[in-house]
Amino acid sequence: MSAKETIAILGGTGDLGTGLAIRWSKAGYNIVIGSRTQEKADAAVAALAEISPNTPAQAMENAAAAAAGDIVVLTVPADHQISTLDGVKDSLKGKILIDVTVPLVPPKVGTVQMPPEGSAGKRAQDHLGEDVHVVSAFQNIAAHLLQQDVVIECDVLVAGNNKESRQRVIDLIKEAGMNGWHAGPIANAAAAEALTSILIQINRSGIVSHSGIKIIGQEH
């Protein structure tokens, strides 16, 4: 298999990071699982090797993972988004940072409660500066669907200030088995982040589970 880029997933030991690691590893990407502890990263890589034995993967602490990644993905809970970025900031310059954060505020996770910056994606971009291409994606995708070998019907809204970086992430989304759409600048991450609370409400109705969105239109 030809060498593809290295994707480093910070907090890649968690639910969403595990799902993305499985999908991109199966697509042939070299995966680096980042964690606060080497032991947790080692265990996650061992589990990934069981599922995707033919693609290399490495385990590192988050700072080393961010340095090793050509593309870096942040998959930690919203409360720890900025503190985690602070620990890796210098390694992100010139790279794409995919931010998946949904700023849910328990216990009212079915109510939209956006942060003062407007969205978690915008908060990350403001914090890191324009040297880092923050691209917001995956807010409406359930982690356990990513982890399973199933077709995911839900589309992915992709927001970021740099169009080429958005397109790169849309290509990665395709390789992970979903459709991504240009959703405009990082400020527009607010829409996908807010939508998660709406989908939670729809799931609670009991009529469907795993609700999602699909973009429709007439083809040109």
Ligand X SMILES: NC(=O)c1ccc[n+]([C@@H]2O[C@H](COP(=O)([O-])OP(=O)(O)OC[C@H]3O[C@@H](n4cnc5c(N)ncnc54)[C@H](OP(=O)(O)O)[C@@H]3O)[C@@H](O)[C@H]2O)c1
Contact residues for ligand X, defined by CB under 6 A: 11, 13-17, 35-36, 40, 75-78, 80, 84, 100-102, 138-139, 141-143
Beta bridge partners of 51: none
Nearer to ligand X, 4 or 126 (CB): 126
CA–CA distance, 55 with 57 (Å, rounded to integer): 7
Residue whose Cβ sits closest to ligand X: 14
Nearer to ligand X, 65 or 170 (CB): 65
Report in angstroms how near the CB of residue 220 gets to ligand X at its nearest: 31
Nearer to ligand X, 40 or 122 (CB): 40
Helical (H) or strand (E) element with 48: helix 38-51
Report in angstroms how near the CB of residue 210 gets to ligand X at its nearest: 10
Nearer to ligand X, 17 or 166 (CB): 17
Cα angle value 71/176/146 (rounded, 5°) = 105
- Return the CA Rg of the chain: 16
Report in angstroms how near the CB of residue 50 gets to ligand X at its nearest: 18
CA–CA distance, 166 with 133 (Å, rounded to integer): 9
Helical (H) or strand (E) element with 10: strand 6-10
Report in angstroms how near the CB of residue 51 gets to ligand X at its nearest: 17
Report in angstroms how near the CB of residue 206 gets to ligand X at its nearest: 19
Report in angstroms how near the CB of residue 49 gets to ligand X at its nearest: 17
> CB-based contacts of 68: which residues, under 8 Å, 6+ apart?
6, 8, 32, 58, 60
Q: Omega before 115 cis (within 30°)?
A: no
Give 149's DSSP letter.
T
Nearer to ligand X, 83 or 205 (CB): 83
Nearer to ligand X, 170 or 192 (CB): 192
Give 4's DSSP letter.
P
